[in-house]
Structure 1
Amino acid sequence: MSLVGVGQVHAEDLTYTQNFQNDTTTLSGKSTATSMYFTKMDYWNVKKATFNFNYQVSQLADKTTSDITLSMNGVKFYSFRPEHKSGFQSKAVEIPLELLQGTNKLEIKGQILNKKDAKNYDLAQTPANWLTIKSGTNMNFKYEVKDPENTLRSFYDHFSGEDTIANQHSKIVTPDQPIKAELAAGMTALTGISHATTTNNNQISVVQNTNMDATKGDYILYVAKYDNLPKALKQEISEKDVEKRAVIKTHYTKKGDYLIVTAKTDGLLKKASQFFANPELMQQTNKSTEMISYLTNTFMSKVQDRGKYQLTNVIDKIKGAGHHETNYLVTLPNDRTNADGSEVKLHFRYSKNLNFKRSLVTVYVNDTTLGSKKLTAAKANGDEVTLEVPKGTSLGNSFEVRVAFDLEMKDQEISDNSETPWAEVDTNSEMKVKSEKSNDLLFTNYPTIFMKNQTYNNLAVVIPKN
């Protein structure tokens, strides 16, 4: 058995493009801002990160006074002026690597001004002050993959990674002519990583041994009864270890990295596959081998569908006059979809130096406007608004809540170059979602049709006799 040292990386440089989940969106106002979120895998050694920005500004915007500024995780790092041309423009901006975290917030601020004469700016907000961000705006990474550590947790992180799945390097393998218990165990394991699969990604393949075609860079979950394991994998686990228990064990080779899930009985093989299907357990297991007995608690703590989803776990603060947007992704359990009766409850604060006749907050779900509320000096230290999602609005099980602040200052006569005024979205802001079970038997819903509240439902596999 060959073990891979901690911190080693594959020499080959890889690329991965992560698209933002935004439709083409227009931000209106002389000063606008919006946020986008993306993830950097922990096992990446990033060499280069590029923000590919597709945008368009108003044809009436003055290109010598209008500008766009980018911030990463609260740190400004790049500003530029739109080019003198109509239509959509593209801008590739390299991100300073030291600003990258696991989960990242990229903020786009645009100051779109119309020039009145040689001395003054026309700062009146009109329909001609706008910035449009086109769908397809994305992050591109050039990186090396850090070899997995010799733990279940590290293998699981690689196996369920977005790039691993998109590049079809994740595989679930059973023996040739698998028995029902092996098929059921393989499908149970598949449900555990369904959170990493979307309709935009390739699905994880479940294949038989003959069709495995393992190569370096593959992460292979091999599910089999002990007597049906290939010789090379069987010799990694002693028969004594599986007499009364199931075994989950890492095995790294030059032709792919394996996680072996095996047992002598159908019941213990099922228990081991349930352990793998539990992300909480897999991400907590910092050892190379796990022994599973009938007493091992393998079930996920079921998500109680109380329908409350916190929008942000930290106070989300925006600064500057004009139109600003901040976005929050809400994801329901895999087998649920929204129903009538959902609402957003927003708690927020804002500065007192506003023109309260022209300042307001507006809440959207995807592109549906829920409503607006005027800001007032009396409630600047603690305001709230509850807005209902219109009846008949279909959102699916993943959607975006967008909060837009229009912050107008008193007697502003110059371009916006300050960080006041400000507004904050508080951590007790939430969306209450009424949901119902989604039972559509579509291939695009696979494997979530096997799920119930983010855990696997009762699962049986039926195969013909011949």
Structure 2
Amino acid sequence: MKKRLMHIFLTLGICAVFVLMSSSVIASAAPNNDNQKTFSLNSDIVFRGDFSSHEIYFNVSKWWDVSGAELQVNYTRSQISTQNAQTFFVFYINNIPFRSQEIFYKENDEVQTLKINVPTRLLKSGNNTLKIEAYMRISDLPCVDDVNPANWATINKGTGITVSFNNKLANDNIGNFPYPYLKENNNPQVNTQIVVPNNYKDYDVSNALMMQSYLSRLFTTGDYNGTIVKENDINKNNNIIYIGSYNDLPAELKKSVGSVNGIDFNKEALIQQVNSPYSNNQNIKALMILSDNQDMISKAVRLMMNSSLVMQLDSPRYIVNDNVKELQEIQGDKDTLTMQDLGSDSIYLQGPFTRSVNLGYKMPKNKVLASGGKIHLNMRYSQNLDFNKALVTVYINNVPVGSKKLSYDKANGDTLELTIPRDIPNSAYLNIEISFDLAMTNTWCEKRQEKTPWAYVTPDSYIYLPSVQSKDYNFQRYPNPYVENYAFNNVLVVTPDNMNSTDLTKLGNMFALMGTGTKYNTGNITVESGNSVGDLVNDSNLIVYGTPSNNPFIKKINNDLWFKYNSNYTGFESNAKQYLTTPFNENITTFQMCKSPFNNQRGMLVITSPKDKNLQDATLYLSDSKKILDLTGDSAIVDQYGNLQNFQMIKPENNAPSFDMFKQSNLLTKGLMGLLVLIIVLVGVSIFLYLNKYKKEDKNDSDDIPYRKRFKRR
């Protein structure tokens, strides 16, 4: 019996050790997203010919104490290879090689993976470059592999470098902001809360939404999901940004502020940062923005949104008064974009065959590309090209704009100017590709990477992109009209009275997504509860949020909605576009965009449902950067299960200028318009001749009168 018990205990002990070891291995294998950042390719890169290369740019934060870095390369190699043919990858950090690797095709592994430790001594704070260079052969024959299309390798999506680090401790100086409220890592969850008083004022929420939009603009790991809560719902493990009155501060925060003697909260605002009194972690902070003056607290929030001012605040406390100039200088509409505006001071391409670079430009959602756009490139290129084949081509959104043949005589100074055609897809994002075909005589027979051709596009090159204001209120153009020219555009948010933390966070997430389209700390977001909407409604772009029971303003505008509520406000009525059954109509949320009934030069978005839970869940479509792409038209229905239906209630307006619309007209329309113009001209000429004739006759008659008078006197 004792032996049996010993066997049982021994077996249980071994199992326990095995479980502990397994859990330890699993724990060690799991990545620590808080202390790692991965920079990777978003799409596949194809290498062709003997020589190829690609660069990945990444940033090492000044707040990282780097402990390691690993490169992961996922690649696919051509299946065709002779026994003596060899292929090599060489890896560089900041143009310094650190690893060479021979690669092979493996029949059983379509995608192969290399994992390589990167020497941390090669990394520097700030911008860094990872370069992958390839020498590829599929045969041992000369003059074949460089032109053989079967000689290829693909660097697959997901290839990249992961940097491991420990976050540095920050002191309490305000100038460190937005660290540690935002940290660069792989964790998509944000450990920062914006807190307003339990008895918040509407302008406290306005400022909270402004701050939320700013943090979202800076966030680099997906959609920003920080919360906005009332002070009773503070998560004590999070960083805190408190916006409100000093008198409403929770006791723990008020104690940490210390003396406020000499501060007039009716005329000034206080910005102060401390270690969070709720946490023992020295890197968990509390930033407090305090005032009883609506203008001053708004000024203080906007100051924190101006990085050039924040970096000057080398202390834990700053007092804001009327003398502070917190607003950023707005750069006016720029139709002419330089290379720097497009993210590059200049363009330098090196190597034979096709070499290209992609430049991106994100147009404001309130703008539509007009006709007359131009691309002007000033360039130089090497003189060792085969000028019978050398060419430069420009594409916009994968549509060719035009090409030009390169010339030996103009190699030291050439110009390309192209007019952007009207058939370019009218997208808010323009992908501009500049491609050089740097063909060389007998290049196909080169086995060494020598006498490399090059092309250089100078910094004074530019792209002219005229635009017109979009007149449409629909989800394709959202967040227009609420964001205009990269700033909030007279936004009035009409909300339920005394919102809870869930509603505050849902609104905050919506404005976080809108904030990604802003650049400036200017513009206005005003919050008013449905019971206290004032004259501001007459000159604002409206966002109305709530249910008929908690936001009385919804009942006031019910007759202006595409989907109206029934008489007792328990469900939506059918309309010409959609028949609604009961109880389906009681368990849906609607998004409805239209011109404001108070000012037809402004827009209105109504987000409403008979039930709070359905309303809160449906806002995911307006706060998720992928979900919002599912929204089209000017109205939508989201049911309680998250299913979406889109509707177009009114036909979108043609935003093209008049001359553009004439050019887009068919031949018959143009002919009729031409005939109408001709008739108008002929009528005008006839009237002119008629009037001119009678004017002369009247003049002749008047000239005869003196002579007749003289004749009578005789």
TM-score (ref. length: structure 2)? 0.56
Aligned to 1:410: 441
| Aligned partner letter, 2:272 | K
Q: 1:35–1:327: 8 Å Cα contact kept in structure 2?
A: no
Aligned to 2:193: 171
In structure 2, what is the Cα distance between the partners aligned to 1:164 and 1:233? Answer: 30
In structure 1, what is the Cα distance between the partners aligned to 2:62 and 2:455? Answer: 32
SS at match of 2:409: helix
Q: 2:66–2:165: 8 Å Cα contact kept in structure 1?
A: yes
- Over 3 Å counting, the alpha-carbon distance change for 1:272 and 1:141 in structure 2 is same
Indicate yes or no: 2:529 matched with 1:463.
yes
Match of 2:478 among 427, 430, 440: 440
For structure 1, which runs of at least 5 residues remain unmatched after alignment?
A: 1-10
Indicate yes or no: 2:318 matched with 1:287.
no
In structure 1, what is the Cα distance between the partners aligned to 2:270 and 2:129? Answer: 40
Indicate yes or no: 2:369 matched with 1:339.
yes
Indicate yes or no: 2:96 matched with 1:75.
yes
* Map 1:8-47 → 2, pairs under 5 A: 14-20=35-41, 22-47=42-67
In structure 1, what is the Cα distance between the partners aligned to 2:55 and 2:458? Answer: 16
- Over 3 Å counting, the alpha-carbon distance change for 1:180 and 1:293 in structure 2 is same
Q: 2:177–2:310: 8 Å Cα contact kept in structure 1?
A: no
Indicate yes or no: 2:272 matched with 1:249.
yes
C-alpha displacement of 1:79: 3.1
Q: Which moved more, 1:124-133 or 1:349-358?
A: 124-133
Structure (1 or 2) with the greater strand fraction: 1
- Over 3 Å counting, the alpha-carbon distance change for 1:13 and 1:306 in structure 2 is closer
Match of 2:162 among 135, 140, 144: 140
C-alpha displacement of 1:377: 1.8
| Aligned partner letter, 1:113 | R
Indicate yes or no: 2:213 matched with 1:195.
no
- Over 3 Å counting, the alpha-carbon distance change for 1:171 and 1:35 in structure 2 is same
Q: 2:51–2:134: 8 Å Cα contact kept in structure 1?
A: yes
Q: Which moved more, 1:360-369 or 1:98-107?
A: 360-369
In structure 2, what is the Cα distance between the partners aligned to 1:296 and 1:358? Answer: 61
Indicate yes or no: 2:236 matched with 1:214.
yes
Q: 1:27–1:323: 8 Å Cα contact kept in structure 2?
A: no
SS at match of 2:286: strand
SS at match of 2:526: coil
In structure 2, what is the Cα distance between the partners aligned to 1:430 and 1:238? Answer: 55
| Aligned partner letter, 1:187 | L
Aligned to 1:229: 249
Structure (1 or 2) with the greater helix fraction: 2
Aligned to 1:50: 70
C-alpha displacement of 1:272: 0.9
Indicate yes or no: 2:174 matched with 1:152.
yes
Deviations 1:142-183 (A, max 9, x none): 111111233222132433444388331233222234221211
In structure 2, what is the Cα distance between the partners aligned to 1:126 and 1:326? Answer: 23
In structure 1, what is the Cα distance between the partners aligned to 2:434 and 2:62? Answer: 30
Q: 1:323–1:407: 8 Å Cα contact kept in structure 2?
A: yes
Aligned to 1:296: 324
- Over 3 Å counting, the alpha-carbon distance change for 1:204 and 1:50 in structure 2 is same
Deviations 1:62-107 (A, max 9, x none): 6833333333333333333332226333233333323334123333
C-alpha displacement of 1:257: 0.9
In structure 2, what is the Cα distance between the partners aligned to 1:175 and 1:164? Answer: 32
Aligned to 1:8: none
C-alpha displacement of 1:45: 1.4
- Over 3 Å counting, the alpha-carbon distance change for 1:340 and 1:346 in structure 2 is same
- Over 3 Å counting, the alpha-carbon distance change for 1:347 and 1:74 in structure 2 is farther
- Over 3 Å counting, the alpha-carbon distance change for 1:95 and 1:338 in structure 2 is farther
In structure 2, what is the Cα distance between the partners aligned to 1:219 and 1:139? Answer: 29
- Over 3 Å counting, the alpha-carbon distance change for 1:380 and 1:74 in structure 2 is farther
Q: 2:188–2:221: 8 Å Cα contact kept in structure 1?
A: no
Deviations 1:381-418 (A, max 9, x none): 22333453763425435x65444444333334332333
Aligned to 1:205: 227
Deviations 1:20-49 (A, max 9, x none): 4x3334354443333332222221112122
Deviations 1:85-141 (A, max 9, x none): 263332333333233341233333333334253xx2414524334343333333322
Q: 2:272–2:317: 8 Å Cα contact kept in structure 1?
A: yes
C-alpha displacement of 1:262: 0.9
Q: 2:186–2:221: 8 Å Cα contact kept in structure 1?
A: no
TM-score (ref. length: structure 1)? 0.82
Match of 1:93 among 109, 116, 125: 116
In structure 2, what is the Cα distance between the partners aligned to 1:189 and 1:13? Answer: 23
C-alpha displacement of 1:432: 3.8
In structure 1, what is the Cα distance between the partners aligned to 2:220 and 2:514? Answer: 13
Q: Which moved more, 1:259-268 or 1:274-283?
A: 274-283
- Over 3 Å counting, the alpha-carbon distance change for 1:328 and 1:452 in structure 2 is closer
Q: 1:319–1:419: 8 Å Cα contact kept in structure 2?
A: no
Indicate yes or no: 2:137 matched with 1:106.
no
Aligned to 1:5: none
Select the structure with the greater relative contact order (CA < 8 A; seq sep ≥ 6).
Answer: 1
In structure 2, what is the Cα distance between the partners aligned to 1:227 and 1:272? Answer: 17
Match of 1:350 among 372, 376, 381: 381
C-alpha displacement of 1:353: 1.8
Indicate yes or no: 2:144 matched with 1:122.
yes
Q: Which moved more, 1:415-424 or 1:11-20?
A: 11-20
C-alpha displacement of 1:422: 2.7
SS at match of 2:74: strand
| Aligned partner letter, 1:426 | T
In structure 2, what is the Cα distance between the partners aligned to 1:13 and 1:191? Answer: 23
- Over 3 Å counting, the alpha-carbon distance change for 1:240 and 1:141 in structure 2 is same
In structure 1, what is the Cα distance between the partners aligned to 2:176 and 2:353? Answer: 45
| Aligned partner letter, 1:107 | K
In structure 2, what is the Cα distance between the partners aligned to 1:163 and 1:241? Answer: 41
In structure 1, what is the Cα distance between the partners aligned to 2:367 and 2:161? Answer: 29
- Over 3 Å counting, the alpha-carbon distance change for 1:289 and 1:313 in structure 2 is farther
Deviations 1:265-316 (A, max 9, x none): 2221111111112233223433322221123211111132204142455444
| Aligned partner letter, 2:263 | V
| Aligned partner letter, 2:380 | R
SS at match of 1:184: helix
In structure 2, what is the Cα distance between the partners aligned to 1:365 and 1:32? Answer: 24
| Aligned partner letter, 2:369 | A
Aligned to 1:84: 105
| Aligned partner letter, 1:115 | S
- Over 3 Å counting, the alpha-carbon distance change for 1:14 and 1:372 in structure 2 is same
In structure 1, what is the Cα distance between the partners aligned to 2:221 and 2:396? Answer: 21
- Over 3 Å counting, the alpha-carbon distance change for 1:194 and 1:417 in structure 2 is same
RMSD: 3.5
Aligned to 1:376: 407
Aligned to 1:270: 298
